[in-house]
Structure formats: structure tokens, C-alpha cells
Amino acid sequence: MSASFTSLIYTYIGFPLLAIVVLNLIGKKHMEKFCAPIGCAVGVVQAVTSVITMLLLLQYNKAAVNFSQFWDMSVSTEAAYFSVDAISAIVLFCIGMVTAASFLTAAGMREEKMFNYTNVMLILVLGMSGIALVTDLFSLYVFLEITGIASFVLIALHRDIIGLEGSFKYLVMSAVASAFILAGLSFIYMETGSLRYDAVAEMLAGNTAAEPMLIWLAFLFLIAGFSIKSGIVPFHGWLPDAYQSAPAPVSVVLGGIVTKMAGVYAIIRIMSDFLLGTYSVINLAFMLLGLLSIVMGALAAIAQGDFKRILAYSSISQIGYIVLGASTGSMIGLIGAVLHFFNHATFKTTLFVNSAAVERQTGTTEIERLGGLQKQMPVTGVSSVLAFLSTAGIPPLAGFWSKLLIIIAAWQAGGPLIAGIALVASILTAAYFLRLQRKVFFGPVEEHLSTVKEARGGIAVSAVALSAVTVVVGLLFPVLLQILQAQGLL
Amino acid sequence: MNGISAFLTVGSGMNLLYVMILLPFVLALLCLAIPKQSYAAKAGVFVLAVVANLIFAFGVFRAPDATMLIPWAGFEINLALRIYDFSRFIVIAAAIIVFLVGLYSVSFLRRKEYAGQFFFYYLLTLALANGAFLANNFVVMLFFWEGLLVSLFGMLVLVNKDNVRTAVKAIVLSGTADLLLMLGIAMTCMHAGTMMMDAVNDLSVSGIGAVGFLCMLAGAIGKAGSMPFHSWIPDAANDAPLPFMALLPAALEKMLGIYLLTRIVLDFYDLQPGSTMSLVVMIIGAVTLFFAVSMALIQKDMKRLLSFHAISQVGYMILGIGTALPVGIVGGLFHMVNNALYKCCLFLSAGAIERATGTTDLKRVGGLGKMMPLTGLCFIIAALSIAGVPPFNGFFSKELVFDAAIESHTVFYVIAVVGAFMTAASFLKLGHAAFFGPTKLPDDVKKEDVREAPAAMLLPMVVLAAACVVFGVWNRLPLDMIQPLLGDTLAGQDFAGWPHSMTLVLISLAVLLLAIINHIIGYRMTGEGIKAVDHIHYAPGLRQLYHCAEQHYFDPFDILMVFVRIYAWLCYCIDRAINWIYDVLLVRLTSFFSQSLKNFNTGDVAGYMVRSFIGLAFLVLLFVLLI
């Protein structure tokens, strides 16, 4: 058993590293055309491995499994180590899935700087996998920075003015966030003397802090820092600019997973490992921030004129739902948050892939210049409708179930008003997506678009595959939920 | 024949109860299923149904008292039926009328396109009416009672499929009455604590009892066609096929309504003579009979004139039963039977005239007595009966009602007598205009073509006319069936034979004489039978009133519709307002916020950072406030 578990670490951390080394040893000249398959393989292998991890956890009935491959755990109790539990496994699956989709999109878009893109993407995957695996706050910070730096480079990949501007905004805001997070970590370290999740949790649960004020300050900074990283209103300013200015395959991975890993995953970790049921003010703070994000994101999305910008604001709104679910501090809310995380990775990636298809085939993402593409681009149109129905929470698609759990949890924790606002915002979701669908896909064809064809290759494949995930997971959701609950994993 | 009589006696008539309800229904469906071309087959099934119903009604008539109960819906709602004096009597009476009108319809509707559907609704009506008469559970009775609205609506749209105004009017008015009945039954059942009709006895008419009584009363008189639920009947006279008028407004609806009214007054509630509720019922009766007969007086169309009499006659019944005196109740029920006989006969003879000449407009026909002698004879007998001429049946029942009215209050008696005067006057006019005087026919009808009606139509008329005579001369026959219904209330009184009060008889005769004198004066003044009452119609003051009434100013339905329109307008406004909130206000608000938020994101990093710090400050504030 331990052997099978231990080998997992090689696929999560080792495989991307190995790919980078191989690519650069052989060199750009020979490897340029193998970049997309290799990147895709990394993503698929990671997704498959995470499924295997999940099955192993189920089989051996364990809540989590720890690795100490690089550090000897027996030397010091303070040593850092990796660990995979159910939440990590789901998140790792999302990373693999979105990575594969991003590489397929890059192949479909005939990315010019494929070699550079692949290298940085693999570092990004490494960083995100690290975030999912670590068990102490400082390692978390290190991998956050790796993820962040890789993202800045990717956004500015083409070195055009728009990309550089978006990248710069993200960089500046991330620097502020890093400062906040580091400050928060240092305050916690002053109290605890350790940044391991279990040590911090023990200190918080026992309420043994010598200076409670420090803990409050620490959380104040952590909340602000992670909020900037996840793009929660009012810390969200950089997010739409960065998403819009990034090249298509990069916005797929940014919108699908990066900001979620960098911010929301940490918030879920904090709520699930440290704060289940205690420190109600922090719960309240996250709840208010989540609601604000839901409503503001949805309202702002309605007026946008760019396909990708609408998706960006939609991301803000959906991140709000995840934070709202996590903020309830209840089991059902956390399950809802994690599953919405997964669903969001699925449907938002689908939509970004669709926007890439539209951009590739028509040369624009401005919705006023698009129209009636449904006939010419049936795959894109249908997968986009499925994804938007899932986002809006229409049964039986996957998005419905996670949103339902979140709203139930919100009702239990915050009363009908909170749940009602979250519910009404769903209508806004439907409103901005209907507008998007109508302007881009429905109605008569614009004259200058009459020769447009469906995008082929990687883009279509990933759109179909992701739509299939949305539908299948939606249909099997009750079963999955029962399995997870029966094993006590969530 | 042996088989039938054996069947009739098996199981104390219990199985008859199913058959009475189910057989007409099944045959009704069969009538509908038979193709349109085979009229003979349709008519055959139809006649079979009414004849079988008559035979089974005799079976029920001979069967001993019995109750049966099939558990059904729970909550004490069981399919309970009951044979006893009243249901026996009313079922056989209905069966006879249904049989006669049915026989007439087969001949009258030949070559009519809607005949098959008419037969279907006719038999459906029969099944439902039988169910309502035999039910012993309030909910079951209500089920059959409300079901009658279906056939009512169906028959009214038969002829004018495009113009459903009359049908809608009928369903609104009858539906209102039925709704009140439902409320009344709910309150009565709650008051009594049971839904079995034979278990509800002599509830006190006070508090919730009074409300329940009034609501049930509205249902009963609404079905009977009393004011204010009456105004669809004259419209139906124009729009519906004539056998419908003879069957429902003239006979069966009166039977249903008066049956329920009698049950309410006699059984369910303890209505004391002279009490307030008794007065209410009597006022309704008096108002109905007076105003309806006033309208009948001036009509120039046979069917319309008769339809107003169909309303006014029910006023006599309600007045009689409303007195809550034994003589009044007996008189009311007797009048119901008599009314069914002569009113049916009158409608049927009007139908015979319509069939022969193509019209019932009195201005276009005249002197038909020579061409249609038998029809004329039947008409005259029925007219004499309704006018209250001895020794025909109407005279005796009317005298009983007069007796009860004067015992309650003289005002009611005076109104009833004035009503009798106008009834006599209107029929003098009708008879004179239609059957006597110079021969007058519509332009497109030749004199040779106008013939006596066929035997199948004449037979019912002759039987009904004969019954009018028999029930008058030998009035002990019906009264011996009616009087036991009152049970102990009767206290040994017997109203059969010649009326007890000679004074009242003399007054009635004097009124009849007055009517004749009035007719002669009117005839002298105008020279035409049809204008014999014009001196009343166009008298100063009355003329304007009549004009308003003819313009439907007093039609409860039209008055109701004014309120409905106001209400509908209000609802429309509310709907628009709500729509505005959703379609305009919310959209504008949303786009306002969206635009503001869009403009807020300027792309200025410093601004983003400032906002982040504002967010941090907000968090600090939250922490400070709540820790």
C-alpha cells in the first residue's frame, strides 16, 4: 500500500519536473512539435492519478495519506511534508483536467510560442499541485509565489502591450497580497511557533493564544491577501483585465483553475482545517465578502461587451458562491464549496475554450460584432449552452447540485435572507449568460460571419469532453455524493 | 315482462338505484358514439333510455324504503342513496316529464344537425338529476347537482356554437348559485356534524345556521330559476332548442330546486312560520312572481313570454313553501307538479307552432286554431290551468298558495292575486293572438303547408293536457302523494277536494273576470288581440320602466358584469404594475448598477489598490465591531 501511495508523488510533482527537464535538455528545435502532446499527457496523467488516489483512499478507508519523500518526517516534528486527502484529490483532478484543456486549446489556436508556453505552464502545474499537497502555511506561500510568477509570465507571453498591462496589474496586486499573507503568517508564527496546519488548528481550537489580538490581525491580513488572490469584490480589480488580456489558452487555465488554486483553495483549507465552527466573525467576514462578490460580479457581468470579460466577472460571482459555501463552516457548506470548485473548473473552462474557438474562427471576442454562430459552430454553441445552464444552476446539470448545497448551507448558517440573495443572484447569472448566448450564438447570422466554420481539433475535443463531464457528473451527482459521504471523506 | 318485474323486486330496489343513474349515462355515451347519419339508431337508443328510465322509476316507486351506502372518498363522503317517500315521488314525476318531452324531441329534432349531441346532454341531465334526487349524502348530491351545469352549458351552445353569450350567462348565474350552495352545504354539515342528509334534522336558523340556510336557499332557488338568478332563461328561449326549454327551465330545474327548497324548509332546518328567514323566502318568492309576470305581460314572442312565466311560477312555489305553513308547502309542491305539466304543455305547443310556421313571433302568426285544432285545444287547457281557472289543476294549487299567503301577511296575498291577474291577461293575449282572429302567417309560409303536428309530438301534449284536467278534477290523486311528505307537520289536515275558503275562491274568480274585462277593453281600444295589454304597457310611468327592463338595466347579470369589468380593470392595472416592476424597473435598476460597476473598473491599478485597502478597512471595522 505504501508503495502505491508513495509513487503518486512522482506523478504530481515529479512528472511535470521531468517533462521540463526533458524538454529543455533536448531543446526547442526538436521538441517544439511535441510540446502539446507532452503537456496534454501531463494533465491527463495528473487527472487519472487523482482518480486513482481517490479510489485508493476509498479502498483503504483513509482520510488522508502523507508523503515524506524529500524530507524525513522522523527527524523533526516540524518538518514539512505532503499530504493528499479527498479535497486535494478533487482539486488535483481539476488541475489535470484544465491543464489538458489548455494544451488542447493552445494546439488548436496554433500558439506561436508553444515551447515557452509549455515550459511555463508546466511550472504553473507544479506550483498548483504543490498548493494542493502541502500541509503547512509557509510551503503554501512558496507554491503560491511559484504559481503567481508563472502566471505573470504566461499573461505577458506575447509581449504585446495589452498582455504586459494585464500582467503588470496582476503582479502589483499579487505583491500586495503576498505582503498581506506574509504578515499574517508571521503573526501566526509568533503565537504558535509552527505553521503546520495541525499545529495552527490545535492552537486555535485550544484557544491558547497568549495575545489574541495577534491572531485577529493575522486573520485580517490572511483574509485580505487571499481575497486579492482569488479576486473577491472589492479586491477584484485586476482580475477582469488579466483574464481579458491573456492569450486564449492562458485565459483557459487562469479562469479555470489558477485564481481558484491561489486564493479560494486556501480559503477552503482555512475554513475546513482551522475554523470549522469557531471564530464566527471570520465566518461572517467571508460570508459578506462572498455575497458581495456574487451580486457585484453578476451585476457587472451584465453590462460587459467582451466574451472573455463576461466570463471573468462570472468567475468573480461564482467564486463568491464557493466562498459563501466555505464560510458557513458547516460540513454541507464545505462539501458544496468543494464541489462547486470542481463544477466551476469544468464549466468555466468550457466557456473559455468556447471563447477561444470564437476568437480563433472570427478573430474577435466582442459580442456586438458576433451573432448567429449556432449554425456554423454547433459544437461550440451547444457546449456553451450546457456550461451556462450548469453555471446558472439548472437541474440536472452538475452546477445545480453544488449550488443547491451551498444555498442550503447558507440558509442554515445565515438565515433565509442570505440564501435568498444567493438564489436571486442565480437569476442574474442566467440573465448575463442569456445575453451572451443571444448575442453570440442565437438569432440571424451577421453578414461578415457567414463563412465561419466550426473550430476543429483540440478545441472541439476539449469542449466536448468538458461538456460530457458536466452532464455525467450532474446525472451521477447523488451517487457520487453518497459514496463520498459513506466513506466519511467529505 | 316477468323478468322485468322480477328484477324490479330483487334486493328491495337497491340495484335499481345504480341503474337509475348509470343506465342513462351509458346510453348517453352510446348516443354520442352512434354515427351522425343513423338518426334512427340514435333516436332508438334515446327512446329506449327514457322508456327504461320510466319503467325503473315505477320500480323505485313500488320499492320499499331503503338506504344504501358504498364507502368512497373517506371523510364521511360515501356514495349514499336513499329511497323514501320524497325521492320516490320526485323521481317518478321527473321520469314522466322526461319521457314525454323525450318523445316529443325525437320528432321535433328530426333532421337537426345537433340532435345526437342534444340526446347525449338530455340523457346526461337525466342521469345527474336522478343522482341528485336519490343522493343521501350532501357531497354526493352536490356532485350531481354541479354536474348539471355541464349539460346546461352543452345544451345552450348546441344551436349557436359561435355565440356562447347565453351559455356563459347561464353558467355564471347558475354557477354563482351552486357556489353558494356549496358554501351552504359546508356550513350545514359543520353545524350538524354529519354529511348524511337523513341525519340532518331541524337545525336552528340562527348564527351560522342562518348563514348556512341562506346559502343553501340561494342554491335551491338559483336552480329553480328564481330572481336574481333568472335572467338567462328569457335569453335561452331565443337561443336554445325548444325541447330544452320544456325540459329544464320549465320542469326539471323547478323540480330540483323546489325539491331541495322543501328539504331545507321541512327537514334540514327548523323554519318557523312568521320568522325572519321565512319572511326572506316569501319576499324572494313575491318579488320573483310579480316582476317576472309583469315582464311576461308585454312580451310579443311566444317562447319569451312563456320563459318569463317559467320564472314567475316559481315565485308562487317559493312563496308557498316560504310560509313554512303546511298548506303553503303542500301548495308549493302541488304547484310544482302542476307547473311541470302545463308549462311543458305550453312550451310543446309553442314548439308545434314553430315547427309548422317557422316562427313563434306573435306579430307574424294568428288564427292558427283552425289549422292546428288539437294543438290549440292542448294550449287552451294548459293556459286555463296556468291562469288558475277551475276546475283545472293550477286553480287548486294556486288557491292553496293564496291560503298560505293570506295567513302570513295580506301584502303577499295581494301581490299573488295581482300576479294571477297578469298571468290570466297575458295568456288571454297569447291565446287570442295565436289561435283566434284573422289568419296571419309569415310571408314565406303557405297556408296549405301549415298542418297539425305529427303524432309523436301531439301525444305528449295531449297526455299533459289530460293530466292537467285529471289533476284538477281529481286532485286527491297527487295530493295523497304529496301530503304524506310533510309527516307530523301536517297535523291531520287534508287539502284535497274543493278549496276550503270560499271567499278566496270568489276573489280569484273576480280577478279572472277582471282579466277578461281588461282584455276586452284592450281589444276594443286597439282592435288586435296581440295589443290587448298595450294600455298597461304604455301607461305613463310604466312605459319608461318597461323600456329600461327591456334594455337589461335591471338584469342582475349585466349589473354583475359592470362590477366584473371594474374588477377586471383593477386586476389589469395591478398586473401592469407588477409587469412594470419586472420588465422595466428591475431591468433599469440592473443596467444602472451594471453600467456603474463597469465604469468603476477603469483599468487604473492605483484605484484597484485603493479599493483593496478600503476592503481591508472594512474588514478591520467588522472585526473591531464584532470581537
Write the DSSP assignment of B575-622 as a string of letters.
HHHHHHIIIIIHHHHHHHHHHHHHHH--S-HHHHHHHHHHHHHHHHHH
Question: Which residues from chain B sit within 8 angstroms of residue A224, using beta carbons?
Answer: 612, 615-616, 619
Would residue B34 count as lying in a domain? no
* β-pairing verdict for B77-83 and B66-74: antiparallel
| CA–CA dist B361, B133 (Å, integer) | 37
Q: Tens of pLDDT along B349-379?
A: 888 888 888 888 888 888 887 888 888 888 8
Residue B271 confidence (pLDDT): 81
Residues B289 and B381 in one domain: yes
Residue of B nearest to A162 (CA): B603
Say yes or no for a CB contact (<8 Å) between A237 and B607.
Answer: yes
Say yes or no for a CB contact (<8 Å) between B597 and A428.
Answer: no
Give yes or no for residue A85 having a pLDDT over 90. no
In the beta sheet, which residues pair with residue B440?
B366
Of A223, A238, A300, the CB nearest to B597: A300
Crossing angle of helices B502-526 and B393-408, in 10° steps, is 110
Give the number of residues written for chain A: 490
Of B593, B611, B619, the CB nearest to A237: B611
For residue B235, CA distances in Å to A72, A385, B76, B225, B306 come to 102, 58, 40, 13, 12
- Provide the pLDDT confidence category of residue A208 given band limits of 50, 70 and 90: low
Residue A73 confidence (pLDDT): 53
Residues B365 and B470 in one domain: yes
Residues B461 and B595 in one domain: no
| CA–CA dist B315, B309 (Å, integer) | 10
Residues B322 and B283 in one domain: yes
Say yes or no for a CB contact (<8 Å) between A304 and B612.
Answer: no
* Peptide bond preceding A234 in cis form (omega within 30 of 0): yes
DSSP B390-411: TTSHHHHHHHHHHHHHHHH-HH
Q: Tens of pLDDT along B171-198?
A: 888 888 999 999 998 888 888 888 888 8
| CA–CA dist B64, B55 (Å, integer) | 16
Say yes or no for a CB contact (<8 Å) between B619 and A224.
Answer: yes
Residues B528 and B561 in one domain: no
- Provide the pLDDT confidence category of residue A453 given band limits of 50, 70 and 90: confident
Of B601, B609, B623, the CB nearest to A173: B609
Quickly tell me which residue has 488548528 as its cell.
A201
Say yes or no for a CB contact (<8 Å) between A169 and B594.
Answer: no
Residues B521 and B575 in one domain: no
CB A32 within 8 A of CB A114: yes
Residue A318 confidence (pLDDT): 94
| CA–CA dist A146, B449 (Å, integer) | 111
C-alpha cell of A435?
Answer: 445575453
Q: How many domains does the structure of chain A reveal?
A: 1
Of A169, A285, A300, the CB nearest to B622: A285
SS3 (DSSP) at A347: helix
Would residue B395 count as lying in a domain? yes
Q: What is the dihedral of CA B434, B437, B438, B440, to 10 degrees?
A: -10
Question: Which residues from chain B sit within 8 angstroms of residue A241, using beta carbons?
Answer: 601, 603
Using CB atoms within 10 A of its CB, is residue B37 exposed (0-12), middle (13-18) or buried (19+)?
A: exposed
| CA–CA dist B182, B175 (Å, integer) | 10
Give yes or no for residue A78 having a pLDDT over 70. no
Using CB atoms within 10 A of its CB, is residue B452 exposed (0-12), middle (13-18) or buried (19+)?
A: middle
Residues B418 and B527 in one domain: yes
| CA–CA dist B589, B147 (Å, integer) | 51
Residues B474 and B511 in one domain: yes
Which of B586, B610, B616 should one mutate to test binding to chain A, selecting the residue with the greatest count of A CBs within 10 A? B616
Residues B568 and B474 in one domain: no
| CA–CA dist A484, A488 (Å, integer) | 6
In the beta sheet, which residues pair with residue A366?
A306
- Provide the pLDDT confidence category of residue A68 given band limits of 50, 70 and 90: low
Nearest CA to A123 among A107, A145, A140?
A145
Say yes or no for a CB contact (<8 Å) between A173 and B605.
Answer: yes
Give yes or no for residue A413 having a pLDDT over 90. no
Nearest CA to B96 among B349, B337, B317, B329?
B337
| Averaged pLDDT, A188-202 | 86
| CA–CA dist A281, B66 (Å, integer) | 77
For residue A318, CA distances in Å to A255, A303, A304, A389, A474 come to 11, 17, 16, 13, 17
10 Å Cβ neighbour count for B38? 11
Question: Angle B500-B502-B508 (CA atoms, 0-180°, nearest 5)?
Answer: 110
* Peptide bond preceding A396 in cis form (omega within 30 of 0): yes
Identity of the amino acid at B378: C
pTM over 0.80: no
10 Å Cβ neighbour count for B536? 17
Q: Which residues contact A47 (CB under 8 A, 6 or more apart)?
A: A92, A93, A96, A97, A100
SS3 (DSSP) at A449: helix
CA distance A453 to chain B (A): 32
Nearest CA to B129 among B227, B44, B247?
B247
DSSP B49-98: HHHHHHHHHHHHHHSPPEEEEEEEEETTEEEEEEESHHHHHHHHHHHHHH
The rounded mean pLDDT for chain A is 87
Question: Which residues from chain A sit within 8 angstroms of residue B612, using beta carbons?
Answer: 173, 176, 224, 228, 234-235, 237
> Please, what's the b/e burial string for A390-423 (b: 16 or more CB within 10 A of its CB; e: otherwise)?
bbbbbeebbbbbbbebbbbbbbebbeeebbebbb
Give the number of residues written for chain B: 627
* β-pairing verdict for A82-85 and B66-74: unpaired
| CA–CA dist A389, A397 (Å, integer) | 7
| CA–CA dist B455, A76 (Å, integer) | 120
Would residue B618 count as lying in a domain? yes
In whole angstroms, what separates CA B157 from the centre of its chain? 17
Q: What is the dihedral of CA A208, A213, A216, A222, to 10 degrees?
A: -100
Q: How many domains does the structure of chain B reveal?
A: 2
Question: Which residues from chain B sit within 8 angstroms of residue A431, using beta carbons?
Answer: 590
Q: Which residues contact B231 (CB under 8 A, 6 or more apart)?
A: B169, B173, B552, B555, B556, B557, B558
Identity of the amino acid at A263: G
CB A252 within 8 A of CB A353: yes
Residues of chain B falling short of pLDDT 70: 1-14, 73-74
Identity of the amino acid at B625: L
Report chain B residues touching chain A, CB-CB < 8 A: 590-591, 593-595, 597-598, 601, 603, 605, 607-609, 611-612, 614-616, 618-620, 622-623, 626-627
The DSSP output letter for A143 is: H
Residue of B nearest to A227 (CA): B612
Question: Which residues from chain B sit within 8 angstroms of residue A216, using beta carbons?
Answer: 623, 627
Question: Which residues from chain A sit within 8 angstroms of residue B593, using beta carbons?
Answer: 299
Residues B388 and B459 in one domain: yes
Say yes or no for a CB contact (<8 Å) between A299 and B590.
Answer: yes
| CA–CA dist A249, A459 (Å, integer) | 10
Say yes or no for a CB contact (<8 Å) between A240 and B627.
Answer: no
Say yes or no for a CB contact (<8 Å) between A220 and B620.
Answer: yes
SS3 (DSSP) at B448: helix
| Averaged pLDDT, A320-341 | 90
> Where in the sequence is the domain holding A451, given as residue range(s)?
2-486
If phi over 0 gives left and psi between -120 and 50 gives alpha, with beta otherwise, what is residue B123?
alpha
SS3 (DSSP) at B539: coil
CA distance B583 to chain A (A): 13
Nearest CA to B246 among B389, B360, B411, B78?
B360
**Percentage of chain A lying above the pLDDT 90 cut:** 46
Residue A482 confidence (pLDDT): 82
CB B155 within 8 A of CB B109: no
> Where in the sequence is the domain holding B380, given as residue range(s)?
276-490+497-532
| CA–CA dist A104, A101 (Å, integer) | 5
The upper half-sphere exposure of residue B106, i.e. CA atoms within 13 Å in the direction of its Cβ, equals 25
Question: Which residues from chain B sit within 8 angstroms of residue A180, using beta carbons?
Answer: 616
Maximum distance among all Cα pairs of chain A, rounded to whole angstroms: 71
